[in-house]
Amino acid sequence: MSHKLGYGFLIEHYKLKALPLSSYALIDSAIHGRQKRTIGGQCQELFEPAYQPKNTLIGHLQFALRYQGLNLHVMALLFDQAGEAELCEWITASPESRYARRACFLYEWITGSSLPIDDPVPSRASYIPVVNVDQQFASSAGERLRRFRVLNNLPGSSMFCPMADRSELLQEMLAKDLKGRTQEVLEKYEPGLLRRAAAYLYLKETQSSFEVEREKSSPQRQQRFADLLKQADTREVLTEARLVELQNAVLDPRFHEYTWRSQQNWIGKDLGYSKKVDFVPPRPEHLTNLMTGLLAIAQDFASSTEPVVAATAIAFGFVYIHPFMDGNGRIHRYLIHDVLAKAGFTPRGIILPVSAVILANLDDYIDTLEHFSHAINQLTDYHPDTADIPAQGNNAVYFRFPNFTRQTEFLYRTLERTVKEDLQKEINYLLGFDSAYKQLNEELDWPAHSLDLFIRVVEKNGGTLSNKNRQRHFDWMRKDEIERAELGVQNAFAD
C-alpha cells in the first residue's frame, strides 16, 4: 500500500487548491531505496518505508525541501493556512538546520510577514542557498541575508518567481551547448551573406509569428514588427512603455492599448450559442505586481542564469499573465528573441527562425501552453456572458510562482531544431536563390520582378513550374525557355 509524501501529503492534508504536481513522492513497501516510474503520464518517485517522515507539517515540508525542490505556489497556499507556530518551534529547536532555515526564510519571503522570533541562527553558521542548484535552476547572483543566514538565489521576487527543474532532458540540452553550435553554423558563411540572411530571417520570423496566430497582416505591420525584432539585440531595457510599443506595432490602430488591461480577458472560442473558455488569465487588479515582477527579472535574471531558462521564464510568464487584451502571443514570441539576444545566446544582427519551427510543430506548442493553462482552468470559474461578475479561482498565487520545466524543455527542443536544421536551411536557401538568379538572369530578359517570382514558385513546387503559375504569370515564356529555367533552378538549389 502506497501513500503520498511531501507536497502531495500537504496538499491532501490541508485541502490546498494546488495545481497538479509534475511528480508525486510515494512510500512503497515493495521497493528498496528509491525508484521512478510513470503511470498514465503521471511521474511517481517511490521511496522505501525508511524514508517515511513524521506525519506533521514540518516532517513533510522537510521531506519536500530535501527531495522535491521548491514548489513555491504550494508553500504559499500552505503558509496562508498554517505554519507560523510550527516553523518557530522548528527553527528554535534546530537553529542550524538547513531545511528549517530555508523554510523560515521562504515563509517570510512569500507572505511578507516576519515570524515572531528574534534572529535565531548563530553567526557561526555558514550561509546556505535557498535553491538547491542540483535540483533546480537559480540565479547566479545571490544576496546574503543574516536573519536565517541564507543566500537568496531565487530567480525572481515574491511578485513573480518562475522555477524550472533540472530534468534529465534539460541536463542533456545544457551539455549540447546550443550557443556554441549556433556560432559554428554561422562561421561557415561570409559576412555579406549573413547580412542578407539576417534581413530575410527577420521578415520570415515576423511572418511565421503572425501565422501562428492564424492571422494575415499588412506588409506595413509586418515590417514594423520586423524592425522591432532587429532592436532586440540593442540591449534596450524591457519596460511597460516598450511592451506597449510592441503591442501597438502588431495591431490595427483601433485596438492599440496604452497600459495594462483593466478588463478580464479570456482565451477560448465563441460558438455563437455559447462560449468555450479554455483559459482565464489573472484578474486586472493583480497585473501591476505580476508585471512589475516580470520586468524586474527581465533586467536581472536574464543576465544571471542560463539564457534559455531566462527566455522561457519571461516569454511564457508574459503570455500566461496576458497583460493586454490582444497581441500577447506575438509579443510572447518576440520576448524569446529579446532575452536570447541580450544574454548573448544569438550573435548580434542574427535572429533564429523560432516561430517557423513553432509553426511546423504547432500541436506541441499548444500542448506546452496548455500544460499550465489547462490546470489553471480547472480551478477557475468565469462566464464571459456575465462579464460583470469577477472571475474566481484564477488567483495571483498560481501566476506568481509557476513551474516552467515543461515550457523550458519545449523551448530547448525548438532551439535545437532551429540550430541543427532550420538556420542552415534558410541560409542555404538564399545561396541557392542567388545562384539561380545569376544564371537565369544571364540567359533570358525577364520583366520586372518576374525572375524572383519564377525562382520562388519553382523551388517551392519541387523544381517545376505548375500549369496554374504558367498560365497566370509566365504565359509569355516558350516551352524550351521554361525547361531551361527549371533546370537552372534545380541545379542551383541542389548545389
State the pTM of this model: 0.89
One domain, residues 347 and 223: yes
Residue 250 inside a domain? The answer is: yes
Question: SS3 of 475, please?
Answer: coil
Give the structural domain span for 1. 1-82
One domain, residues 101 and 249: no
Residue 436 inside a domain? The answer is: no
C-alpha 18/C-alpha 12 separation (Å) is: 10
One domain, residues 95 and 223: no
pLDDT confidence of residue 218: 67
CA count, 13 A, side-chain hemisphere, 52: 11
One domain, residues 364 and 471: no
One domain, residues 105 and 218: no
Residue 451 inside a domain? The answer is: yes
Contact present, 433 and 455 (Cβ < 8 Å): yes
How many domains does one find in the chain?
Answer: 4
One domain, residues 53 and 18: yes
Residue 219 inside a domain? The answer is: yes
Contact present, 263 and 118 (Cβ < 8 Å): no
Instruction: List phi, psi (to 5°) of 122.
Output: -65, 150
One domain, residues 374 and 466: no
What's 401's domain CATH number?
Answer: 1.10.3290.10
Residue 478 inside a domain? The answer is: yes
Which among 265, 309, 313 has a CA at the least distance from the CA of 160?
A: 313
One domain, residues 135 and 240: no
- Print pLDDT tens along the chain (495 aa): 568 999 999 999 999 999 999 889 888 888 888 888 887 777 888 888 898 999 999 999 999 999 999 999 999 999 999 989 999 999 999 999 999 999 999 999 999 999 999 999 999 999 999 999 999 999 988 899 999 999 999 999 999 999 999 999 999 999 999 888 888 888 887 777 777 777 777 777 777 777 777 766 667 777 777 777 777 666 678 899 999 988 988 888 888 999 999 999 998 887 766 778 899 999 999 999 999 999 998 886 555 678 999 999 999 999 999 999 998 988 998 899 889 888 888 877 777 888 888 888 889 999 999 999 999 999 999 998 887 889 999 999 999 999 999 999 999 999 998 888 888 888 888 888 989 999 999 988 899 889 999 999 999 999 999 999 999 999 999 999 999 999 999 999 987
pLDDT confidence of residue 217: 64
Query: Among 30, 50, 82, which residue terminates a domain?
Result: 82
Residue 481 inside a domain? The answer is: yes
Q: Any alpha helices (H) in 112-262, and if so which ranges?
A: 168-176, 178-186, 191-212, 219-230, 240-250
Beta bridge partners of 277: 268
> What DSSP character marks residue 284?
G
Query: Among 49, 82, 115, which residue terminates a domain?
Result: 82
Query: Among 131, 154, 177, which residue terminates a domain?
Result: 154
One domain, residues 148 and 100: yes
One domain, residues 343 and 232: yes
Residue 374 inside a domain? The answer is: yes
C-alpha 281/C-alpha 266 separation (Å) is: 6
Residue 10 inside a domain? The answer is: yes
pLDDT confidence of residue 401: 97
Asked whether the CA dihedral 140, 146, 150, 155 is positive or negative, the reply is negative
One domain, residues 319 and 367: yes
One domain, residues 129 and 260: no
